[in-house]
Amino acid sequence: MKKKLTGLLVILNFLVLAPVLATSYVGEIARQYVMLSLSLGEYESGYIDAYYGPEEWQKQAKEKKMPLKNIIIAAKSLQDVLIKEKSKDPLVKLRILYLKGQLNALVSKALMINGSINYDFDQEAKALYDTQPPHQELSSFQPILDELNRLVPGKKPLAKRIEEFQKQFIIPKEKVDVVFRAAIRACRERTKPFVNLLKNENFKLEYVTDKPWSGYNWYQGDSFSLIQVNTDLPIYIDRAVDLGCHEGYPGHHTYNGLLEANLVKKRGWVEFSVYPLFSPQSLIAEGSADFGIEMAFPGKERLVFERDTLYPLAGIKPELAELYVKVATLKEKLSYAGNEIARLYMNKKIDADKAAEMLHQYSLLSTDKSKQRVSFFDTYGAYIINYNWGRDLVKQWVHAGPDQTKAGRWKRFGQLLSSPRLPSSLN
């Protein structure tokens, strides 16, 4: 019993000492936050998305396995101490807000895991991701569906027609790797002139199956990422640039590398050596990774690159590229219908079969992809809003910058990737 309470006692000792010492406690709070995050990670696999701090902290969290209720008490105590922290330095101010937001999510997640709270979709989005996603009537997507009806005419139901149309754009299995590597290279080349990529940065690309996601970046620390691609379902040509930018440049690999270099190594801000997946940081991570596609390939540049470079590599007819981009752009707008369906499903208004059927009907996902998406909802809950809603929030913030030249936008985007900014600080 005593052994199990050690983590809490460390915090309580610190809280007793805190008023005596006339200094800032942010560094100590940050250290305790890392320990509590690792401790909570012991209760849910996948909670800790990345950790590259001291190994003994991880070991300590595993061995002591702090009781959930103590994690909650300790995190709340840290929040109380944090309220008194003030700074004139804008970056330190963001750091304090970051710790507040992350601790708030940590408490919420711990309450969810021990079953003492049951959030609906919007409550979860607020509690874990520090945001209020928009609501849209499903009927409001009808004009987009009508437009797609015109672009891909025929007698069969629209979702079926779209699925058949898209078959022409599947990358043959044996060409996936060469196409993906070409796309990642291009994403890197387009990011490098504007973002300080680290000298030793690198990644490994792997192909996996049987996952609820289509791609994943496992950041390993020291500027190295393991990027995995799920090959369960057919891979369409536009996935290459999506993946290259989202998981690589200027997405997750770049973001994690910059946080590590600028905040962990340069400033000693240990809280960035841990990345709890169900936290506000994910909205910035996913949002910037998705908006990163537009940063690297603004305007028609993506179409030109895909048509002239990737289509020939994949053996797909380049003359179809323009129509495919039109269809894909409209389909992307339908991703917000997916958020509405996720809300209905998580709020127990519809069951899994109905959710898959509606994703097929409104988001025009293939039958198999719809099922994969429902399994994503099961695993990750309201996390889905971090992609499209996160992207739109990040886009708004970048577009609100004082310098709207290409270099100016990259500068602002780079600032976001190198600072402790959370969704509620995106204004």
User: How many whole angstroms separate alpha carbon 369 and alpha carbon 351?
Assistant: 17
Q: Which is nearer to Zn ion, 286 or 340 (CB)?
A: 286
Which pair of tokens denotes residue 274?
Answer: 């841990």
Is the separation of the CB atoms in 351 and 191 below 8 Å?
no
Q: Which is nearer to Zn ion, 163 or 286 (CB)?
A: 286
Q: Which is nearer to Zn ion, 247 or 340 (CB)?
A: 247
> How far apart are CB 289 and Zn ion at their closest, in Å?
5
Contact region for Zn ion (CB under 5 A) — 32-40, 273-281, 285-293, 342-350? Answer: 285-293
Contact region for Zn ion (CB under 5 A) — 8-16, 99-107, 183-191, 279-287? Answer: 279-287
Number of residues that bind Zn ion (CB under 5 A): 2
What radius of gyration do the chain's Cα atoms show? 22
Contact region for Zn ion (CB under 5 A) — 140-148, 164-172, 286-294, 375-383? Answer: 286-294
Q: How many angstroms from the chain centroid is the CA of residue 280? A: 9
Residue/partner pairs of 161-169 with CB below 8 Å, 24 or more apart: 162/327, 162/331, 162/364, 163/364, 163/366, 163/367, 165/327, 166/236, 166/327, 166/366, 167/234, 168/316, 168/317, 168/320, 169/236, 169/237, 169/238, 169/316, 169/320, 169/324
Site string for Zn ion, 233-272 (x = CB under 5 A): ----------------------------------------
Q: What is the DSSP letter of 171?
A: P
Largest CA distance in the chain: 77
Residues 287-316 that bind Zn ion (CB under 5 A): 289
User: How many whole angstroms separate alpha carbon 203 and alpha carbon 184?
Assistant: 10
Q: Which is nearer to Zn ion, 186 or 243 (CB)?
A: 243
Q: First-to-last CA distance in the chain?
A: 46
Q: Residues near 334 by Cβ (< 8 Å), separated by ≥ 6? A: 141, 144, 145, 362, 363, 364
Contact region for Zn ion (CB under 5 A) — 94-102, 121-129, 278-286, 359-367? Answer: 278-286
Contact region for Zn ion (CB under 5 A) — 117-125, 169-177, 283-291, 345-353? Answer: 283-291
> How far apart are CB 208 and Zn ion at their closest, in Å?
15
Is the separation of the CB atoms in 95 and 420 below 8 Å?
yes
> How far apart are CB 252 and Zn ion at their closest, in Å?
6
Q: What is the DSSP letter of 172?
A: P
Q: Which is nearer to Zn ion, 260 or 286 (CB)?
A: 286
> How far apart are CB 248 and Zn ion at their closest, in Å?
11
The position carrying tokens 């809003």 is 385
Q: Which is nearer to Zn ion, 238 or 286 (CB)?
A: 286
> How far apart are CB 105 and Zn ion at their closest, in Å?
17
> How far apart are CB 386 and Zn ion at their closest, in Å?
8
> How far apart are CB 245 and Zn ion at their closest, in Å?
11
Residues 68-97 that bind Zn ion (CB under 5 A): none
Amino acid at 203: F
> How far apart are CB 216 and Zn ion at their closest, in Å?
7
> How far apart are CB 52 and Zn ion at their closest, in Å?
18
Contact region for Zn ion (CB under 5 A) — 85-93, 260-268, 284-292, 317-325? Answer: 284-292
Q: What is the DSSP letter of 86?
A: -
User: How many whole angstroms separate alpha carbon 255 and alpha carbon 240?
Assistant: 19
Instruction: Give the binding site for Zn ion (CB under 5 A).
Output: 286, 289
